[in-house]
Amino acid sequence: MADPVLQLDDLTVRFHLKRGQLTAIDGVTFTVHRGETFGLVGESGSGKTVTARSVMRLIPMPPGEIVRGRILYEGTNILEHSDQQMRALRGKKIAMVFQEPMSALNPVFTVGKQIADALRTNLGMSKKEAKTRVIELMQLVGIPSPAARYDNYVHEFSGGMRQRVMLAMALSCNPVFLIADEPTTALDVTIQATILELIRSMIERFNMSLIFITHNLGVVAHTCDTIGVMYASHLVELGTKNELFANPLHPYTVGLLNSIPRLDAKAKYLTPITGSVCNMLQPPNGCKFHPRCGHAMDICTQEIPRLKEVAPGHFVACHLHT
């Protein structure tokens, strides 16, 4: 097994809001190794974006607060880094691709300038050097006529092209680690296939590690090595892709897999998970999934289950599997 590049250890982040306290992620623990693609799966409110932004330390504090936990990047706890130390990491060592390229890219600057900014800020390149490198990068990510499009603005690109621009920006300084937060959710399926293929080839080429955040189980099935499932701030299941799909243990994971319409078969009715996610400002006692769980027992209403290894490399946080 390759060395660990990123380790999250008991990471807990809380937000102090006017309407109350919201613990967005609670006790999140997982490791990503060099060259590994880690899929972080969950629905709205699960905490996956907060997890990603915490790694980049992009959460405003206040109202956010790191209650406890560590984020170890190549062995060092980056939560103890100064602003200057974090700036040295962001963009250079750890890069991020965001979900909505229209909102993540600056509409008033040309695309070329924005990518060049990353190079000039992080690597100290001159304007000319940066422009050459940017055109190379645009070529790499498959933007046609890059020299001409260098001076185009964001609105002159389609959704798929904007996502390529974000990818070019993220890859510009040869990061060791990439975090992609729902990079293909807003894209058409054929464009999604193109972007996924691009990410895959970049990972291979540069031996990057990747955290891929999505709610799309189809995408994780074909892009990730390891998968973590999040529900209402907790990591509820963790395992290799094959293990998780073949042998899902947490009732939420099982429910999720059962509720997806299949491309190859047709059932009259789907099997959804009943109910909806709890109010995170006033979560239920014990396991947050228990109100929706067909296997809930007394202990589930009292004690939050902890993540335990139930098979080699397969972890689950559930009283049913203790």
Partner 1 sequence: MSDYFLEIQNLTKYFLLNNDVLSRLTGKTRTLKAVDDISFFIKPGETLGLVGESGCGKSTTARLVTRLIEPSSGAILLKGEDLLAFPPSRMLAMRKTIQLVFQDPYSSLNPRKTVMQILSRPLEVHDLAHGWAAKRRQVLHLLRLVGLGVEHADRYPHEFSGGQRQRLAIARALAVSPQLIIGDEPVSALDVSIQAQILNLFRELQEELNLTYLFIAHDLSVIRHISDRVAVMYVGKIVEMGTVEEIFTHPQHPYTQALLAAVPEADPRKPPPRLTLHGELATPIDPPPGCRLYGRCPLATEICSQVSPPLSDRGGAHYVACHNV
Using CB under 8 A, list all residues that contact partner 1. Answer: 43-44, 158-159, 188-194, 196-197, 215-219, 221-223, 241-242, 245, 255-257, 259-264, 266-274, 276-277
Backbone φ and ψ of 17, nearest 5°: -110, 165
Letter string b/e over residues 83-93, b meaning 16 or more CB atoms within 10 A of that residue's CB: eeeeeebbbbb
Task: Tell the smallest beta-carbon distance from residue 269 to partner 1 (Å).
Answer: 5
DSSP classification of residue 227: E
CB 95 within 8 A of CB 173: yes
Task: Tell the smallest beta-carbon distance from residue 194 to partner 1 (Å).
Answer: 6
Task: Tell the smallest beta-carbon distance from residue 168 to partner 1 (Å).
Answer: 17
Give residue for tokens 């060049």.
116
- Compare residues 71 and 219 and give the one whose CB is closer to partner 1: 219
Left, alpha or beta for 248 (phi > 0: left; psi -120 to 50: alpha)? beta
Q: What angle do CA 212, 178, 311 make, to 5 degrees?
A: 50
Task: Tell the smallest beta-carbon distance from residue 76 to partner 1 (Å).
Answer: 34
- Compare residues 125 and 273 and give the one whose CB is closer to partner 1: 273
- Compare residues 8 and 277 and give the one whose CB is closer to partner 1: 277
Exposed / middle / buried, residue 186 (Cβ in 10 Å: 0-12, 13-18, 19+): middle
- Compare residues 221 and 310 and give the one whose CB is closer to partner 1: 221
- Compare residues 75 and 261 and give the one whose CB is closer to partner 1: 261
Task: Tell the smallest beta-carbon distance from residue 127 to partner 1 (Å).
Answer: 30
Task: Tell the smallest beta-carbon distance from residue 256 to partner 1 (Å).
Answer: 6
Q: What angle do CA 54, 277, 274 make, to 5 degrees?
A: 145
- Compare residues 30 and 231 and give the one whose CB is closer to partner 1: 231
